[in-house]
Amino acid sequence: MSEESVVKRDVVQGSARGGAVLLVTVGILEVLQGLSAIAKDEVIVTGIDYTYQFDLTAWGWTHLVLGAIVTAAGIALFTGAAWARVTAMVICAVSILVNFLWLPYYPMWAITIIALNAVVICAVSTWHPDKDRVAQPNPPAR
């Protein structure tokens, strides 16, 4: 294996691990967002007329449950299992959709979560741990 391919593999592997860390971070942020909505925090706007308008408590529980699932997927992603990668991408897509619907209530927070989810999907989709395990180079002799 050439030195260039080893560097590429390490970069992709590092970005995937970073994606796992980001996924856990997104999950924690979703949980905090849910708790804030359940507590009817004054930061969240509730007086708007919006097509996808739900009760603030319902949104809070949605974000709380989604955050717990996202955090669990992020923790599972550290194992490098293929199912964890697929789960992470699917749950990030669901999180993007939910936060898009949440935009009128707390726009900057929702945009931040959407952007972080997009970075996670990009990082996880470019990582192929099976290829990394197959061709491990031998260290040079000293």
What mean pLDDT, rounded, does the chain reach?
A: 79
Q: What confidence score (pLDDT) does residue 97 get?
A: 94
Position 92 scores a pLDDT of 92
Q: Which residue has the higher pLDDT, 15 or 121?
A: 121
What mean pLDDT is predicted for residues 17-35? 88
* Cα distance between the two ends of the chain: 18
Q: What is the arithmetic mean of pLDDT over 53-59? A: 78
Please tell me the predicted confidence (pLDDT) of residue 5: 63
pLDDT, position 19 = 81
pLDDT in tens, 58-105: 888 999 999 999 999 989 888 877 788 889 999 999 999 999 988 887
Residue with tokens 């992470």: 88
Given a cut of 80, whether residue 122 has pLDDT beyond it is yes
Residue type (1 letter), 139: P
| Full 3-state SS string of the chain | CCHHHHHHHHHHHHHHHHHHHHHHHHHHHHHHHHHHHHCCCCCCCCCCCCCCCCCHHHHHHHHHHHHHHHHHHHHHHCCCCHHHHHHHHHHHHHHHHHHHHHCCCCHHHHHHHHHHHHHHHHHHHCCCHHHHHHCCCCCCCC
